[in-house]
Homo-oligomer: A and B are copies of this chain.
Amino acid sequence: MATVEPQVPRANGKTRIQARNEARIMAAAETVFADHGFRGATVDEIAQAADMSKPNLLYYFKSKAALYRAVLEHTLRIWLEPLKEIDADKDPETEIRNYIARKIEASAGHPNASRIFASEMLRGAPVLADHLRGDLKSLVARKSAVIEQWIAEGRLAPIDPIHLIFMIWATTQHYADFAVQVKAVWGKGDLGPKDFAQIEAAVSEIVLRGILPRKG
């Protein structure tokens, strides 16, 4: 396979090997950081999970902290994407329902991202603090304004937008972060697509009944 130009820089400035190894390291790091948090994770454990020696890993990421920051950035994109898509010009019920669906999809598809984010919050968010007070706060402010507008138009019950958003975050994330507990108490093995469909239906039902205006 390796023929003429194994380490010729590519479009993004990385060789094939670089791109492949960095991806392998990131994937391994996500599971270890998710399990044990920043301080509890060890470079050696990550290297072994990536099937690589410790010095070789540190050739790609110059420190444990740098690797953590890279993982956290990746995590953040997955975490924020769904909220951005809420659209003021569409139907509130559809938008909230779709938001819950996308959040649960994210929890199901990227459980480690959710757990890394949770772990960073638990320790007081030393790395993400600025981001929370900046980008995230203003994003939530914009979407809260959308919800306020829907309420003013009588299309949603008069609930506090910020606590609605917190409730959706909390609930959807719960199924990823507390998966062991959910499985133990619900009496399930690993959660499959059918389980997540059921979760989505149950959560949407309670939340939407809770925020839609009464017809009668």
Contacts and interface: CB of A to CB of B under 8 A. Distances in A.
Interface of A: 34-41, 115, 118-119, 121-125, 129, 132-133, 136-137, 140, 157, 159-160, 162-164, 166-167, 169-171, 173-175, 177-178, 180-182, 184-187, 198-199, 202-203, 205-211, 214-216
Q: How many copies does the complex hold?
A: 2
Contacts of A205: 159, 210
Output the residue of A36, A125, A198, A215 with the most chain B CB within 10 A.
A36
Q: Which of A129, A162, A184, A205 has the most CB of B within 10 A?
A: A184
- Tell me whether chain A's interface is mostly helix, strand or loop, or mixed: helix
B39 A206 contact: no
Given A162-B186, A171-B166, A211 B215 contact: no
Nearest to A209: B210
Contacts of A37: 36-37, 39-40, 119, 122
Contact of A121 (B136, B163, B177): B177
